[in-house]
Amino acid sequence: MSLNIDFPNFNHPEVRVFYEHDLSIPKETVEQILQLPRKTLIEDMESILMDVMQRDEFLRSSEDEDQWWSFHFHALWVLVELKAVEASPTLLKLLKQDDDFSSYWWGDYSTEDLWEIYYHLASDKLEELKEILLAPGYWVHRILLSRVAEQIFLYQPERQQEILNWYHSVLDAFLEMEDEDEALDADLISSMIGGLVGIQADELLPKIRALYERGFIYDGFAGNLETIEADIKNPKYRDRKRDLKESIHDRYQDAMKWHGYQMKYNEDYQKQHSPKQSSGSLPTPEPAVRKSEKIGRNEPCPCGSGKKYKKCCLE
C-alpha cells in the first residue's frame, strides 16, 4: 500500500513499512528491521514517536478507511526489543500529551499494557516519572507511572525500599497541595492506593489516612479506610505481578487477540460476535454512525453492541 503522506527524514527508509502495516505485519519484516544498526534504528523509532506528536491532527485527517495507524506501536515495541533506555526522554514526552491524543492513539492500551514499555525503558527515571505523576494531566497516564513503580517493587526485590521512599515522597507532595490544586486528582490517588494495598505498603498508612480524611480516596476504589487498613496487611493481596512479555513477537501475537483484529482477521470470531438474526426475519438495521459527529473512542459504540466505540465500529 502506498500512502500519500510525507515521511520523517529516516536514517533507514526501510522503516517506512511501519506506516503501511498494521500489527499483523509479517514476522520476517520485523526481523529485517531489527538487524539495522542499533543507534540509527533507535533514532528512527524516536522520529516516529515525535511524528505522531507533531503531526497528530494531520495524521488523523489522512487516515484511510482501511488504514489502521500502528506505526507508533511498532516504534514502541522495537525500542523495548532493543532495550533502548536512551529513548526515555522521548517516551516521557508521550505521557505529557492530552487525553484526546492519548485516547485516539493508545485507547485501552494505556490502561492495559503501556506501563510495561516504561517499566523496561524508564525504570531508572523515577524522579522524572514522579514529576509527571505530580503534575496536572491525563490521570490515566499519571497512574500508569504508579503501576511502573509497583511492578519494580514486585519484580526487583532489591529496590523495594527505594520504591517505598518514592511513594513516601509522592504522598507527601499530595498532602502539601491545596485542595483546589488541579494535580490533586482523587481518581488518581484512589487508584494509587489500591496499588499500595497490592504491594503491602503498610508503612504508608499514616499518609493514606490523611488523604482519606481530606476526601481524596474514594471508597469505590480500594474500600473505606477500615478496609484499606486491613487489606494492606493481608498477605493474600501481595505479589500481584503483571505479565511481562518476553519478545516483540509476543506483543504482535497478543495484538491479534484484540477485538478489532479478531473481527478483521478471524472469521470464526466474526461469526460469534456478529449480531444474531432470527430465522426468517430481515436483518435489523444498525443505527447509522454520522462521521460528522465526534464519538469518543472510549464512549459506548452507537451501534448498540455494548462495547466501547474503539473496540467495535471504529475498527
Cβ atoms 265, 33 nearer than 8 A: no
* 308 phi, psi to nearest 5 deg: -70, 150
| pLDDT given for residue 313 in this prediction | 59
**Cα–Cα nearest to 10, from 70, 71, 65, 67:** 71
Cβ atoms 231, 222 nearer than 8 A: yes
Distance CA 114, CA 121 (A): 11
| pLDDT given for residue 284 in this prediction | 43
Distance CA 53, CA 36 (A): 25
Q: Is residue 61 exposed (0-12), middle (13-18) or buried (19+ Cβ within 10 Å)?
A: exposed
Cβ atoms 225, 193 nearer than 8 A: no
* 77 phi, psi to nearest 5 deg: -70, -35
| pLDDT given for residue 294 in this prediction | 44
C-alpha cell at 273: 460476535
| pLDDT given for residue 143 in this prediction | 93
| pLDDT given for residue 44 in this prediction | 98
| pLDDT given for residue 66 in this prediction | 56
| pLDDT given for residue 235 in this prediction | 83
Alpha-carbon separation of residue 224 from 146, 171, 220, 232, 256 (angstroms): 21, 18, 8, 12, 39
Rounded (10°) angle between helices 248-255 and 27-34: 150
* 7 phi, psi to nearest 5 deg: -105, 155
Three-class DSSP category at 27: helix
Where do the H-state alpha helices sit in the chain?
27-34, 38-54, 56-61, 71-81, 88-94, 99-105, 109-112, 114-122, 126-133, 139-155, 160-176, 186-198, 205-213, 219-222, 225-231, 248-255, 259-265, 267-273
Q: What is the pTM of this model?
A: 0.84
Instruction: Return the exposure string of 256-291: e unless at least 16 CB atoms fall within 10 Å of the residue's CB, then b.
Output: eebbbbbbbeeeeeeeeeeeeeeeeeeeeeeeeeee
**Cα–Cα nearest to 166, from 122, 125, 117, 111:** 125
Contacts 24+ apart (CB under 8 A), 302-306: 305/275
List the chain residues with pLDDT less than 50: 1, 277-279, 281-294, 297-298, 310
* 300 phi, psi to nearest 5 deg: -60, 140
